[in-house]
């Protein structure tokens, strides 16, 4: 297809308009699907890495002087970064 001719430019613009229309249909469908999911009520996205009970357990473990962040992270099956996210008081660097 030669886009230098009037007919070539017309075909090119028609294809571009069709592609834009299809993309808008996909976006609308995605928004409709998300709205339906929110209406059903389940939590969307990745589930939390730690439960409230795990956060309480970790605080209790870290209150003991012989426990480290690395050890408690291994015990709970999460990373140290996750512990720092859920326990911001650890970020001061005292442990």
Q: Domain range holding 73?
A: 52-92
Q: 17 or 63: whose pLDDT is higher?
A: 17
Q: HEC string of the chain? A: CCCCCHHHHHHHHHHHHHHHHHHHHHHHHHHHHHHHHHHHCCCCCCCCCCCHHHHHHHHHHHHCCCCCHHHHHHHHCCCHHHHHHHCHHHHHCCC
Q: Does the pTM of the predicted model rise above 0.95?
A: no
Q: What is the pLDDT of residues 23-49, one digit of tens each?
A: 999 999 999 999 998 899 877 888 888
Statement to judge: residues 33 and 67 lie in one domain: no
Statement to judge: residues 35 and 72 lie in one domain: no
Statement to judge: residues 6 and 39 lie in one domain: yes
Best CA proximity match to 50, nearest among 40, 37, 59, 62: 59
Statement to judge: residues 40 and 56 lie in one domain: no
Number of folded domains that form the chain: 2
């Amino acid at each position: 297809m030669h886009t230098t001719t009037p007919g070539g430019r017309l075909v090119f613009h028609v294809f571009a308009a069709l592609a834009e229309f299809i993309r808008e249909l996909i976006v609308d469908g995605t928004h409709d699907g998300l709205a339906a999911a929110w209406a059903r009520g389940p939590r969307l996205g990745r589930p939390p890495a730690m439960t409230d009970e795990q956060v309480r357990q970790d605080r209790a473990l870290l209150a003991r002087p012989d426990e480290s962040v690395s050890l408690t992270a291994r015990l709970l099956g999460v990373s140290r970064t996750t512990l720092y996210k859920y326990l911001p008081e650890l970020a001061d660097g005292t442990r």
